[in-house]
C-alpha cells in the first residue's frame, strides 16, 4: 500500500488536487471498462464538488463514470441532510453523467433491506479484485465526530463486517446511515480521505484523545491492501491532526529512505580511491557548470545509485511542489502563518507574486527605488548632517540577519565599495562593540542605520539609544537625530518616537525572515557602500539562482544536490558538522553568515506537525578562509575521528592580482580536496623512507568528502548566486526532514529569561527566583 499526505492551503487547492487524482484514475482505466467512483457525500465534499467540476468537467469522459454512494443518511431525498442531495446539487447536475450510471441508496423506509439490496447492486456493476467488488476511486470525508464513511467510533466493529454495506446508527442522535464497510474500503484501488477546517479537525483531535489514541478511530483502519491511500488536508486541519501525519508520513518509513539505509550498508566501506580508479569519467559525471559556477561533487562518497535514491527521496517528499509553494507565496511557514518570499525581493519589476490577493513585487521595487535614491544622496554628499557636514561614516546597528547579512556582503564586496566612506557594524549588546565602532568617528559626520523590524529588539535598541546619546552629547540639539539616524523597520510609531523622520524609514515585510533579508532594506548599508548599480547586479545573481532552483531538473540542480548530499552525510554517516572554506579573503565572514542561515533554519527537533523526529537534522556549519584554516583546524579534518564534509570556494581570477599569490592560493585549495579524498597510505609513507615508528602518524586515511565550487571572480552577481545557492540547499533539506526552516522559536526562551534576570541584576534587594546555580550566578555578579 502506498500512502501520500498532501497538505494544501485553500479549499480551491483541495479541489484542484482531487480533480487531478480523478483525471488520472479515469485516464488509467482501460477503454473497455467503466470507472467506478464511490462518493461519501457529506459537508466536506459538498464544499468542493463545484470546484472539482470547474477543474475537470471538460477533461474527463463522463460516459464511462459510474457513481455510487458509500454513505447516505436514511432521510428523504429532499431533506437538506441528504448526502445525495448535497452531491447532486453541487456535482451531478453539472457533469454529463448518464442517469443510468448514477446509483443512489434508498434507505429511508427499510435501511437494513436497502443495505442488502445496494450491496448486490454494487457487486453487479463494478470490477472485481480478489473476488471482492473493487471501487476505482473511493472518496471519504473525515467527519467532525471522528467517522469516515459514516462509521462512528462507537461502531468501529462495523469496519470489519463481512458485508459490503451496513446500517449504522449515531450513538447520540440515533440517526441511521447506510455506509460502506471495511471490506469495500480496503479493496479500493485509490482511497482519498478529505479533511478541511480547523474547527472540525479540533473536534476530531478531541475524540482521538477521548478514545486514547488514533488507532481507535475508524479512519486509522483505512489501509487499502493493494491500492493507494491519499490523505488530502488543508493547512489548518493538518496542524490539528498531528496524529495522521505522525502515523502516515514518517520520513524513515518512506521507500527511498529504506533503500538508502540498505544502500549505505553496501557503500559505507568503499573508498574514493577505488571509486575513481574504477570510473575514469567520474569527475565529469559528478560535476555541473551552471550560471558561472563549476560544481565538482565527485569527491563525495556516492555512486550513481546513491544520487538516484536521493533524488527519489526528494520526489517522495514532494520537493517540486514545495518549491513551487514557496515561490508562489503559499503560507508555508505554518507556525507563524506566513508566506516565505525572500525570492520576491529579487524578482524583476514585471513579475507577479501574490500574497493574500496582493502583488508584492511593486512594493519591493518601490522600497528599492527609495533605497537607491537615499544611497545616491549619501554617496554624492547630497545628504548632510545636522551641522551641514558631509556624511563620511555609516554605522549599521542590528543583530542576527540585520547584521550578519550586511557585514558579510560589505566585506565580500569591499573591492567595489566607495572608499571615502567608513562602514562599521554594531550588533553585540556588549558595550565594547559599540565603543570600538565609534571610537575614532565624528558624530557630525556619522549616520546610523537602525535595523529592527519591530524597533523593539533588545540588543539593537539598546545600542541605538546609546548611539543617540553619543550623538547628542556632541550635537546637543534633538533635531539632529533626524539627520543622523534612519530606520529599517515596520513600526512607524516607535521610529517616530525615537526621533527619526518616518520619511527616512525603509520597510520590509513579515514574509521576509531575518536571515533571508540581505536583499531587502536590511541591505541599505550594502547599497550605500557598493552603489545601487552593483546592488542590482547582486539581486540579479540571486534571481538567476532562484530560477535555476525552481526550473532545472533535480539531477542538474546545484542547490538540490547540495541539500541532498547534506542529508546523506547527516543521517547516514552521522556527520554533524559541515565546513565552508572560502579561498578568498573577501569572503571571511561568509561562514559566519551561513551559520545563521543553516543552523537557525534547520536546527529543529520537531516536524511540521509538531512530532519529534526520529532522525538527525541540521548540521553545524563553520569555517575560515584558506589558507589560514590549513594552519589551524585542518588537522582535525584530515586525521581526526569525525567525518567533516567540506565546501571549497575558489576563483580563477583575483580582484587584486599580485604575482604568484592566486596560483599559490588555488594550488592549496585544489590540493586540500585531493588530500582529503585520497590521503596517503602506510605503504606510500614507507616508500618515502619514514621510520616505522612514525608511519602511523603520517598516514592520511583519506575518504573524506568535499565539494569544490569554482568561479571566475568574486562579483556582486556571483555573491548573490552563492547566497541563494545555500538558501535553497537549506530549504531542500528542510523539505526532506519535514521541518520548518523559516521560524526560530529556539532563540526565544533565553531572551525571555534574560528579561527576568535584568532587574534581578540591577536591584540587589530583589531575591532571584531560579534554580540554585542561576541564583548563585546572579549573586556573584552583584558582588
Residues with a catalytic annotation lie at 600, 631, 751
Could you write out the DSSP letters of every residue in 111-134? Answer: HHHHHHHHHHHHHHHSEEETTEEE
Which residues touch 116 (CB under 8 Å, ≥6 apart)? Answer: 163, 165
By CB neighbour count within 10 A (0-12 exposed, 13-18 middle, 19+ buried), where does 429 fall? middle
Q: Name the pairing type of β-strands 287-290 and 228-234.
A: unpaired
Cell readout for 773 is 546555580
Which residues touch 667 (CB under 8 Å, ≥6 apart)? Answer: none
Name residue 578's beta-bridge partners.
621
- In angstroms, the CA 644 to CA 594 distance is 16
- In angstroms, the CA 331 to CA 8 distance is 10
- In angstroms, the CA 684 to CA 557 distance is 38
- Cα–Cα distances in Å, from 563 out to 202, 310, 476, 542, 567? 35, 10, 54, 18, 6
Helix H or strand E segment including 410: helix 401-412
DSSP state of 767: P
- In angstroms, the CA 42 to CA 86 distance is 7
**Alpha-helix runs per DSSP H in 57-213:** 83-90, 111-125, 182-185, 198-210
Which region holds residue 6: left if phi is over 0, alpha if psi is between -120 and 50, else beta?
A: beta
Which residue, 417, 418, 415, is CA-closest to 655?
415
Helix H or strand E segment including 647: strand 646-651
**Prior bond to 627 cis, omega within 30?**
yes
Cell readout for 622 is 563553520
Which residue, 371, 535, 528, is CA-closest to 447?
528
Cell readout for 644 is 567533516
Spell out where 135-277 has E strands: 137-141, 165-169, 176-180, 190-195, 228-234
Look-up: residue for cell 545616491? Answer: 376
Look-up: residue for cell 519589476? Answer: 349
Name residue 191's beta-bridge partners.
138, 229
Q: Name the pairing type of β-strands 620-622 and 132-134.
A: unpaired
Across 95-108, b (16+ Cβ under 10 Å) vs e yields bebeeebbbbbbbb
DSSP state of 395: E
Amino acid at each position: 500500500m502506498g500512502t501520500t499526505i498532501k497538505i494544501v492551503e485553500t479549499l480551491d487547492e483541495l479541489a484542484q488536487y482531487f480533480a487531478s487524482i480523478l483525471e488520472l484514475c479515469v485516464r488509467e482505466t482501460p477503454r473497455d471498462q467503466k470507472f467506478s467512483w464511490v462518493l461519501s457525500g457529506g459537508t466536506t465534499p459538498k464544499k468542493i464538488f463545484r470546484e472539482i467540476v470547474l477543474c475537470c468537467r471538460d477533461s474527463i469522459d463522463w460516459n464511462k463514470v459510474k457513481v455510487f454512494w458509500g454513505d447516505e443518511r436514511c432521510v428523504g431525498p429532499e431533506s437538506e441532510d441528504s448526502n445525495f442531495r448535497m452531491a447532486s446539487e453541487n456535482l451531478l447536475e453539472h457533469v454529463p453523467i448518464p442517469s443510468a450510471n448514477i446509483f443512489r441508496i434508498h434507505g429511508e423506509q427499510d435501511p437494513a433491506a436497502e443495505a442488502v439490496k445496494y450491496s448486490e447492486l454494487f457487486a453487479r456493476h463494478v470490477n472485481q479484485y480478489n473476488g471482492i467488488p473493487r471501487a476505482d476511486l473511493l472518496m471519504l470525508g473525515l467527519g467532525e465526530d471522528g467517522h469516515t464513511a459514516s462509521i462512528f467510533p462507537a461502531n468501529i466493529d462495523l469496519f470489519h463486517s463481512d458485508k459490503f454495506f451496513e446500517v449504522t446508527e449515531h450513538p447520540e442522535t440515533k440517526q441511521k446511515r447506510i455506509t460502506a464497510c471495511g471490506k469495500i474500503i480496503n479493496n479500493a484501488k485509490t482511497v482519498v480521505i478529505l479533511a478541511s477546517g480547523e474547527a472540525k479537525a479540533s473536534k476530531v483531535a478531541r475524540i482521538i484523545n477521548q478514545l486514547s489514541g488514533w488507532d481507535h478511530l475508524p479512519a486509522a483502519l483505512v489501509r487499502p491492501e493493494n491500492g493507494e491511500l491519499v490523505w488530502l488536508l488543508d493547512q489548518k486541519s493538518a496542524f490539528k491532526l498531528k496524529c495522521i501525519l505522525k502515523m502516515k508520513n514518517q520520513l524513515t518509513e518512506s521507500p527511498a529512505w529504506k533503500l538508502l539505509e540498505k544502500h549505505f550498508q553496501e557503500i559505507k566501506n568503499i573508498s574514493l580511491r577505488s571509486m575513481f580508479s574504477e570510473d575514469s569519467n567520474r569527475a565529469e559525471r559528478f560535476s555541473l557548470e551552471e550560471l558561472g559556477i563549476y560544481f565538482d561533487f565527485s569527491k563525495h562518497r556516492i555512486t550513481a545509485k546513491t544520487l538516484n535514491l536521493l533524488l527519489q527521496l526528494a520526489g517522495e517528499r514532494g520537493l517540486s511542489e514545495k518549491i513551487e509553494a514557496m515561490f508562489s507565496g503559499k503560507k508555508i511557514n505554518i507556525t507563524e502563518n506566513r508566506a516565505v518570499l525572500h525570492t520576491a525581493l529579487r524578482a524583476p519589476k514585471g513579475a507577479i507574486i501574490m500574497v493574500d490577493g496582493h502583488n508584492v513585487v511593486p512594493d519591493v521595487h518601490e522600497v528599492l527605488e527609495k533605497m537607491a535614491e537615499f544611497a545616491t544622496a549619501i554617496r554624492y554628499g547630497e545628504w548632510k548632517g545636522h551641522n551641514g557636514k558631509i556624511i563620511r561614516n555609516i554605522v549599521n546597528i542590528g543583530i542576527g540577519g540585520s547584521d550578519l547579512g550586511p557585514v558579510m556582503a560589505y566585506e565580500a564586496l569591499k573591492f567595489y565599495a566607495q572608499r571615502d566612506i567608513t562602514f562599521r557594524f554594531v550588533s553585540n549588546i556588549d558595550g565594547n562593540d559599540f565603543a570600538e565602532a565609534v571610537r575614532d568617528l565624528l558624530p557630525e559626520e556619522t549616520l546610523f542605520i537602525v535595523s529592527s523590524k519591530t524597533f523593539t529588539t533588545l540588543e539593537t535598541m539598546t545600542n541605538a539609544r546609546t548611539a543617540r546619546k553619543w550623538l547628542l552629547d556632541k550635537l546637543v540639539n534633538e533635531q539632529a537625530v533626524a539627520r543622523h539616524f534612519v530606520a529599517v523597520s515596520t513600526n512607524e510609531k516607535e521610529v517616530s518616537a525615537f526621533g527619526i523622520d518616518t520619511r527616512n524609514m525603509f520597510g520590509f515585510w513579515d514574509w521576509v525572515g531575518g536571515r533571508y533579508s540581505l536583499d531587502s532594506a536590511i541591505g541599505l548599508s550594502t547599497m550605500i557602500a557598493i552603489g545601487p548599480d552593483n546592488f542590482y547586479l547582486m539581486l540579479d545573481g540571486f534571481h538567476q539562482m532562484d530560477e535555476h532552483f525552481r526550473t532545472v531538473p533535480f539531477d542538474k540542480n546545484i542547490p538540490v544536490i547540495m541539500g541532498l548530499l547534506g542529508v546523506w552525510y547527516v543521517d547516514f554517516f552521522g556527520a554533524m558538522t559541515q565546513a565552508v572554506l572560502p579561498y578568498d579573503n573577501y569572503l571571511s565572514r561568509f561562514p559566519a553568515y551561513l551559520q545563521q542561515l543553516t543552523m537557525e533554519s534547520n536546527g529543529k527537533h520537531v516536524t511540521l506537525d509538531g512530532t519529534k523526529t526520529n532522525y538527525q537534522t541540521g548540521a553545524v556549519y563553520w569555517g575560515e578562509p584558506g589558507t589560514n584554516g590549513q594552519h589551524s583546524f585542518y588537522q582535525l579534518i584530515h586525521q581526526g575521528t569525525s567525518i567533516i564534509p567540506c565546501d571549497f570556494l575558489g576563483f580563477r581570477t583575483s580582484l587584486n592580482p599580485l604575482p604568484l599569490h592566486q596560483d599559490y592560493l588555488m594550488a592549496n585549495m585544489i590540493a586540500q580536496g585531493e588530500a582529503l579524498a585520497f590521503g596517503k597510505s602506510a605503504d606510500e609513507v614507507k616508500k618515502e623512507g619514514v621510520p616505522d615508528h612514525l608511519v602511523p602518524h603520517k598516514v592520511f586515511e583519506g575518504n573524506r568528502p568535499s565539494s569544490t565550487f569554482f568561479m571566475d571572480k568574486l562579483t556582486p552577481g556571483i555573491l548573490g548566486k552563492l547566497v541563494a545557492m545555500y538558501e535553497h540547499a537549506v530549504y531542500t533539506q528542510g523539505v526532506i526532514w519535514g521541518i520548518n526552516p523559516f521560524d526560530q522559536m529556539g532563540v526565544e526562551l533565553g531572551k525571555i529569561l534574560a528579561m527576568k534576570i535584568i532587574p534581578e541584576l540591577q536591584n540587589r534587594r530583589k531575591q532571584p527566583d531560579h534554580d540554585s546555580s542561576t541564583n548563585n550566578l546572579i549573586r556573584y555578579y552583584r558582588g
